[in-house]
Amino acid sequence: MEILVCVRRVPDTSENEIALNAAGNDIERDDLVYSINEWDNYAVEEALQIAARVGGSVTVVTVGGEDDEEILRREMAMGATHGVLISDGAFAGSDARGIATILRAFVQKGKYDLILTGVQAEDGGALVGGMLAAMLDYPFASLVNSIEVLDGKTLKISREIAGGNKEVNQIDLPCVLSIQTGINEPRYVGMRGIRQVASIPIPTLGVSELNLDPQLVGLAAAKVQRVDYFTPALGKGAEMLQGSREEIVDKLFELVAAKGGLK
Amino acid sequence: MSRIFAYIVHKAGVADDSALELAAAARIIDPSASLTALVMGSGPELDKVCAALPNTYAEIWKASNESLAYPNAELVRQALVKILPSGSIVLVAHEHFGIDLAPGLSVRMNAACVSDVSGIEGLNGSSLKVVRQEFGGQVSAHVACDISSGAVITFRPGAFKPVETAAANGTVIDKSSEVGVLAAKRRYLETVVAEAGDVDITKHAVLVSIGRGIQEKDNVAMAEELAEALGAAVSCSRPVVDAKWLEKSRQVGTSGKTVKPKVYLACGISGAFQHLAGIKGKPFIIAINKNPKAPIFQVADVGIVDDLLEFLPEFTNKVREMHSLSTK
Amino acid sequence: MVEGIRSPAESTYWLIQGRMLFLSIHLLGLAGFSYIVAKRLRPLLRGQADVRFDRPVQRLGKVFQFWLGQWRHPRYPGAGILHILVFAGFLLLATRAFSLILGFSDNFFGATLVGHIYEMVREYATTIVFACMVVLAVRRLAFKPERYAVPAKYGKGHTADAVFLLALIAILMLADSVFEASKGAAQAQLGHPAEFLAFLSLPQILENLLAAVPLAGLQRLYLGSYLVHDLTFFFLLCYRPFGIQFHVETSLFSIFFAKLDRGTLKPVRWQVSDQQLDQVKSFGVKTFDDFTWKHMLDFYSCADCGRCSDNCPANAVGRPLSPRFLTIKARDYCFEHYPVLGKASNGVALVGSIYSEDEIWSCTTCGACEQECPLLIEYIDKIVDLRRGLVDECNVPQSLQKPLKALESRGNPYGKMEKKKADWTKSKEFQPDCRVKILDGSSPADTLYFVDSVTSYDDRMQAIAQATAKILDRLGVNFGILGAAEKDSGHEVRRFGEETLFMALRDHNVEAIKASGVQHIVTADPHAYNALKHDYKDVPPVEHISQVIAREVKAGNVTFQRADENKVYTYHDPCYLGRHNDVYDDPRDVLDAIPGMNRVEMARSRDRSFCCGGGGLMLFYEPKEEERIGVKRVQMAVEAGANVIVTACPFCMVNVEDAIKVAGLEGKMTAIDLTELVEKQMVCPRKSEVAVQGG
């Protein structure tokens, strides 16, 4: 089975403090550490596990620039056979629709049985996977937390819905799935693994290689654009208890008792 | 101004709370636009749903089709494409169905799509300015959406205060015949209900809820001791389940359980939206967190900035002490 | 030729001439033994290289101390004394055995004075060894010391085999004694001048018992006991390489080839430099022949004494790790896959078959096992090599992946930003008291205070950094810190098998240290201390803060206020300061210099100190255990009668404070770091310019 995983490089939320910059219109990007979007990492691991079970190979692709190559290498160190960078000045400012358009052009150049994305990105809207599916006229399912290959043509998948319940579906290949965290335990990738794949070439594809009409992508074509970042004016918020820990413990006890919280 | 449609999520003849929230959002987008509810499914329960919708929905479009007995987004999308006029604005709640439906629908409609909207700044011509949260809620962003050829917008549940429920008398229009035959390459099989687990957190009036701040599995015992002293149950946020420190049945949130306690102690929980969405009613929320900037302090009633690993045992001792005094 | 009684060589055994019979037995026995040993050497020849032939004089010294001198044995006095007696007996009897077998005579030294003395010594040796065999068998069967027990998951018990071996040795002694006794009794009956048998030795006792036996009977006993001795001797010779008794032969070698450089880690491959590592296809131990030949020799040399596991903190709390069985399982694997009879087979991944992942990740590298082993068997290098293998296969527990990723991106396991590393110097209470220089080139210093990650970022441990800085300041040391330029020392990163990440951290730090131009390094973190001392090359000499303070105390530059009389202090030896680096006295000298100090020693102290639970990445790992290692340690402090535990390591502090809470001892026990205590009690000394010396 040929599996394509669409990945994205994002600022790592656990290793950064996301804050506004001095000008107040963007996040402070100076000291940011980037890594692969957490959901996408789960998707790559899932793809690798499926390929190990039924045979086939995994390709990782990202739309971005030079800096994004590092996450492609990381996923190749995990086991992905091919990495592709899609990069062109014309793509700058694309919204989700634009990205999906670009990816559609790439998918149509190859032959993939299964396309995976993460459910969402830290700074994204959980849109690209669903849009890509519609553009390709492939069936789509989001929030997937389990995949079983029934045969070469169908998958049995379950989706995470409210209350911890699972919605079980059957879906035909080729299809697009967006993968939820916790579906598996991603394997470790270390510096050595990345060094070992350092010399494998990563092709870069642009507008011409993809036969894309530049009018369909980029800032001009984007119907959705981020205007700025801001921190919302804080409301009143909680009443913060003051004093020594002992005093706070006492005060809290009174409050809990008053609200009927004791047995 | 185009028509605004709101997709109504319903179950067993009852509409979801989001129906009222979407109506509120529509009001803000354009108070003058006519608002139509989309009620899709199969069978007589649809009529119950239509009848209960408030008159903020001037029109209610009902579509009944056997294949829609279970809301399969792939089939719903097909049906909507057949009945929606071009340039429509469709509002959906951003939860598991909306996430499935919205992106593909916007492509089919050739409309813009913006998701998980938590606030609306205003409409300027055909540019709608909305607010989204990013990076787990650490910052917010203003986003401009060009709705000139229509839009599909998903809204964060609970972000918009529901409108007042006036008498229901919207006009119900049956669109079932326009829907026709639906077929999709994705078929619903069944729903597997989450395992009961040993404790049903939805039945407890007091919850001691723990998040990432508990740091390691061995510290969960601290929360259990406090819960025991209070006669409460221990619940948690998603990271605790992902790390396998508690079972899924203890999770509060969009992909976990919805709880309606009287008192909710959020210990080491940052306050991510997906978790808070699982807390309904208006419990007394106490937040204990080392980080004074944690978003939880915005929604809590009372806040304590402290190391929960130090605070919890002391509070537990206090509760036990007072309990033994009162039982003497 | 003994008068009056026919020698075995000249007798006929069931129609076979004695000489022929015994020659055959000897030849067969030796041939068998050689063949078996050759087969046992096979896997060693396929194993990885190991550098063990250097510094022969130092190695011979170890042989004298640990093999001949049985240096480690008295640590368990009962079994220790018994073994020393048996070992001494063996050495003394060896010459006798060889002379008997080679048929020179039954007295190697002849009828000289030396010969007579040797005979007497030899007869007592035989008696003592025999008595020891009886005692040891009773010990095994009746008293059943706990450390010999075999948990069900490891198979059946080893007692039967042990008693079998003891019985065989007893038979050897008995046969030898009967041989002597029957000859002596015969000579007495024949009226010949008798060899004087040592009084109350086994041969002498038997001689008296056999006095009335007719000559023919004595002749038969004489010939029979020789045959029994011969057969038993060669049976044992060939049987030993099939079990734990192989240590009789291999111990000399396992001790000669033992590791000389304590605290260091085996490189990924010996004789492969860091720069060449990219060419190495596979890191670590995945299959059996990834072990070096010396490690394989270790598997052969284990005597199953159980002392290692008896002192292992992981084992004590029910983690799946038992060093003894790490070795025994590998040995059994080797016997099965490299059999004496049959074809060799290999290639099975060890983790997943004989080892579990949790077993390998459970080790805190405290070194207690290596400290106890009388055969100097190494464990830490093997665990690290097995971990390297797992990391190479991308098989790292989820709980460790996050801190490793953070170490890669941010240089510390918490994912905190580099620019916040020196924030502890800026706290409102601290800063006015003590200015801490950042060595960024603007103001140089003579000494570097290497703070490391936990002390820099952990809210509680920052107090240790502040105390250390104040102490250095008051002692007049011209010091600075690297601040944002300092990355984690990488000590645990390396010991958890992530060699590549470790090298990246190390190279970065070495460059930063060199750029700072310092001549000395001091640290309050024993893990950093060990890393800078043993894992890093080309850096200035490093000391632990306790060594610096101790030196100043001895020089009379420091005085202390009286200690709190209500407190009873006990010092907990951190593994990486004490056991791995032999720094036991300096922290104690510092404490004892405080007037009015009530200090007690825990039963397990110094090189028997019990690990707190481990530091670095071990704080993130979630093992399966019955209780926490730290809780056991804190209870030991309670047993010693203390109410304050003094630590000298931030990780010990984390584990001990945590354990006090978990054990419900809040209010009854507190913990304080040595630096915190010193800073509190210190009366400002003379401010002479003092340089930190190299360690």
| Cβ proximity of B260 and B207 under 8 Å | no
pLDDT at residue A163 greater than cutoff 80: no
Helix axes A96-109, B96-109, angle to 10 degrees: 80
Comparing alpha-carbon positions, the chain B residue that sits nearest to A170 is B187
Taken as a whole, chain B contains a residue count of: 328
- Name the residue among C464, C509, C462, C449 with its Cα closest to residue C485: C509
∠ Cα C403 C407 C410 (to 5°) = 120
| Cβ proximity of B233 and B247 under 8 Å | no
Identify all chain B residues contacting A143, using CB atoms and an 8 Å cutoff: 96, 99-100, 255
Quote the CA–CA distance of C512 and C421 in Å, as a whole number.
Answer: 15
Q: Across residues B97-111, what is the average pLDDT? A: 96
What's the predicted TM-score (pTM) here? 0.91
Is A253 part of any domain? Answer: no
Interface of B with C (CB under 8 A): 216-218, 243, 307, 309, 313
Secondary structure, 3-state, A8-38: CEEECCCCCCCCECCCCCCECCCCCCEEECH
Quote the CA–CA distance of A150 and B307 in Å, as a whole number.
Answer: 49
Quote the CA–CA distance of C417 and C406 in Å, as a whole number.
Answer: 10
Q: Which long-range contacts (CB under 8 A, 24 or more apart) does C192-197 make?
A: C192/C3, C192/C4, C195/C119, C196/C116, C197/C123
Is A56 part of any domain? Answer: yes
- Name the residue among C181, C172, C166 with its Cα closest to residue C227: C172
pLDDT at C664: 83
pLDDT at residue C622 greater than cutoff 90: no
| Cβ proximity of B210 and B236 under 8 Å | yes
Is A258 part of any domain? Answer: no
The tens digit of pLDDT for each residue in A130-161 reads 999 999 999 999 999 999 999 889 999 999 99
Position B273 confidence tier, pLDDT thresholds 50, 70, 90: confident
Of C459, C622, C661, the CB nearest to B216: C622
pLDDT at C44: 96
* Unique residue bearing structure tokens 């535990």: C645
DSSP three-state, residue C374: coil
pLDDT at residue C689 greater than cutoff 60: no
Question: What DSSP assignment string belongs to chain A?
Answer: -EEEEE--EEE-TTS----B-TTSSSB--TT--EEE-HHHHHHHHHHHHHHHHH--EEEEEEES-GGGHHHHHHHHHHT-SEEEEE--GGGTT--HHHHHHHHHHHHHHS--SEEEEES--TTS-S-HHHHHHHHHT--EEEEEEEEEE-SSSEEEEEEE-GGG-EEEEEEESSEEEEEPTTSS-PPP--HHHHHHTTTS---EE-TTTTT--GGGSHHHH-SEEEEEEEPPPP-S--EE--S-HHHHHHHHHHHHHHTT---
| Cβ proximity of A248 and A240 under 8 Å | no
Looking up residue B309, the CATH number of its domain turns out to be 3.40.50.1220
pLDDT at C309: 97
Of C398, C628, C661, the CB nearest to B313: C661
Is B192 part of any domain? Answer: no
- Share the mean pLDDT of chain C: 92
Sequence-separated (6 or more) residues with CB below 8 Å from residue A41 = A7, A75, A118, A186
| Cβ proximity of A18 and A48 under 8 Å | no
Q: What is the dihedral of CA A91, A96, A101, A107, to 10 degrees?
A: 100
Mutation target to probe the B interface, by most B beta carbons within 10 A, among C317, C458, C658 is C658
> Do residues B119 and B238 both lie within one domain?
no
Q: What percent of chain C has pLDDT over 90?
A: 75
Chain B touched by C401 (CB under 8 Å): no
Quote the CA–CA distance of A130 and A79 in Å, as a whole number.
Answer: 26
> Do residues B18 and B135 both lie within one domain?
yes
The neighbours of chain C, by the rule of 3 or more Cβ pairs under 8 Å, are A, B
Is B195 part of any domain? Answer: no
A 10 A CB-CB count for B177 gives 10
Quote the CA–CA distance of B71 and B188 in Å, as a whole number.
Answer: 9
Q: Across residues C665-671, what is the average pLDDT? A: 92
Q: Across residues C392-397, what is the average pLDDT? A: 95
Cβ within 8 Å of B, C 632-671: 661-662, 666
Q: How far is A79 from chain B (nearest CA, A)?
A: 24
The tens digit of pLDDT for each residue in A201-216 reads 999 999 999 999 999 9
Cross-chain residue pair C666–B216, CB shorter than 8 Å: no
Q: Across residues B199-226, what is the average pLDDT? A: 90
pLDDT at C347: 84
8-state DSSP, C11? S
Is B110 part of any domain? Answer: yes
When comparing pLDDT for A16 and C675, which is higher?
A: C675
Cross-chain residue pair C406–A14, CB shorter than 8 Å: yes
Q: Across residues C320-337, what is the average pLDDT? A: 96
Q: How far is A188 from chain C (nearest CA, A)?
A: 5
Is A30 part of any domain? Answer: yes
Is B194 part of any domain? Answer: no
pLDDT at C456: 96
8-state DSSP, C246? G
Position C22 confidence tier, pLDDT thresholds 50, 70, 90: confident
pLDDT at C662: 81
pLDDT at C109: 60
Comparing alpha-carbon positions, the chain A residue that sits nearest to B295 is A237
pLDDT at C140: 92
pLDDT at B258: 86
Quote the CA–CA distance of B257 and B254 in Å, as a whole number.
Answer: 7
Position C695 confidence tier, pLDDT thresholds 50, 70, 90: very low
8-state DSSP, C669? B
- Name the residue among A131, A133, A43 with its Cα closest to residue A94: A131
- Share the mean pLDDT of chain A: 92
> Do residues B32 and B141 both lie within one domain?
yes
Give this complex's ipTM: 0.90
Alpha-carbon radius of gyration of chain B: 22
Helices (H), chain B: 18-29, 45-52, 73-83, 96-109, 176-179, 220-230, 238-242, 273-276, 296-299, 308-326
Beta pairing, strands B139-146 & B127-134: antiparallel
Is A152 part of any domain? Answer: yes
> Do residues B149 and B205 both lie within one domain?
no
pLDDT at residue C666 greater than cutoff 90: no
The tens digit of pLDDT for each residue in C106-159 reads 555 666 777 788 888 888 999 999 999 999 999 999 999 999 999 988 888 899
Q: What percent of chain A has pLDDT over 70?
A: 99
| Cβ proximity of C409 and C416 under 8 Å | no
As given in the structure block, the two tokens for residue C423 are: 């924030």
pLDDT at residue C684 greater than cutoff 80: no
Mutation target to probe the A interface, by most A beta carbons within 10 A, among B100, B199, B274, B325 is B100
Is A262 part of any domain? Answer: no
pLDDT at C103: 63
Is A255 part of any domain? Answer: no
pLDDT at C449: 97
Quote the CA–CA distance of C244 and B171 in Å, as a whole number.
Answer: 91
Domain total for chain B? 2
The lowest-confidence range among B176-190, C26-40, C200-214 is C200-214
Looking up residue B113, the CATH number of its domain turns out to be 3.40.50.620
A 10 A CB-CB count for A74 gives 23
β-pair partners for B199 = none
- Name the residue among C572, C553, C537 with its Cα closest to residue C647: C572
pLDDT at residue C255 greater than cutoff 70: yes
pLDDT at C110: 62
pLDDT at A58: 98
Q: What percent of chain A has pLDDT over 90?
A: 76
| Cβ proximity of B19 and B53 under 8 Å | yes
Is A189 part of any domain? Answer: yes
A 10 A CB-CB count for A34 gives 17
* Unique residue bearing structure tokens 């020698």: C7
> Do residues B157 and B82 both lie within one domain?
yes
Looking up residue A78, the CATH number of its domain turns out to be 3.40.50.620
Q: Spell out a b/e string for B25-40, using b for 16 or more CB atoms within 10 Å of the CB, else e.
A: bbbebbeebebbbbbb
pLDDT at C107: 56
Tell me the backbone φ, ψ of residue B21, rounded to 5 degrees.
-65, -40
pLDDT at A110: 94
Secondary structure, 3-state, C378-443: CCHHHHHHHHHHHHHCCCCCHHHHHHHHHHHHHCCCCCCCHHHCCHHHHCCCCCCCCCCEECCCCC
Cross-chain residue pair C499–A192, CB shorter than 8 Å: yes
- Boundaries of domain holding A74: 2-221
| Cβ proximity of B259 and B280 under 8 Å | yes
- Name the residue among C477, C497, A238, C180 with its Cα closest to residue B293: A238
Q: What percent of chain C has pLDDT over 70?
A: 96
Position C293 confidence tier, pLDDT thresholds 50, 70, 90: very high
pLDDT at C97: 73
Domain total for chain A? 1
pLDDT at C105: 54
Handedness of CA C686, C691, C692, C693 (dihedral sign): negative
Position C686 confidence tier, pLDDT thresholds 50, 70, 90: very low
Quote the CA–CA distance of C258 and C376 in Å, as a whole number.
Answer: 6
* Burial classification of residue C267, based on how many CB atoms lie within 10 Å of its CB (0-12 exposed, 13-18 middle, 19 or more buried): middle
| Cβ proximity of C440 and C483 under 8 Å | yes
> Do residues B148 and B39 both lie within one domain?
yes
Q: Spell out a b/e string for A236-257, using b for 16 or more CB atoms within 10 Å of the CB, else e.
A: eebeebeeeeeebbbebbebbe
pLDDT at B166: 63
Identify all chain A residues contacting C408, using CB atoms and an 8 Å cutoff: 190-191
When comparing pLDDT for A122 and A181, which is higher?
A: A181
Position A122 confidence tier, pLDDT thresholds 50, 70, 90: confident
User: Where in C586-669 does DSSP place strands (E)?
Assistant: 599-600, 644-647
Helices (H), B45-84: 45-52, 73-83
Helix axes A69-78, A38-54, angle to 10 degrees: 40
Position B226 confidence tier, pLDDT thresholds 50, 70, 90: very high
> Do residues B294 and B167 both lie within one domain?
no
pLDDT at C104: 55
**Which amino acid is residue B328, in one-letter code?**
K
- Share the mean pLDDT of chain B: 89
The lowest-confidence range among B143-147, C44-48, C119-123, C520-524 is C119-123
The lowest-confidence range among A57-61, B154-158, C293-297, C355-359 is B154-158
Chain B touched by C353 (CB under 8 Å): no
Identify all chain A residues contacting B105, using CB atoms and an 8 Å cutoff: 134
Quote the CA–CA distance of C155 and C324 in Å, as a whole number.
Answer: 14
The tens digit of pLDDT for each residue in A194-249 reads 999 999 999 999 999 999 999 999 999 999 999 999 887 767 788 899 899 999 99
- Boundaries of domain holding B224: 201-326
Helices (H), C191-318: 202-209, 215-239, 247-256, 293-301, 307-311, 313-316
The tens digit of pLDDT for each residue in B30-74 reads 888 888 999 999 988 898 898 888 777 889 999 999 999 999 999
pLDDT at B165: 61
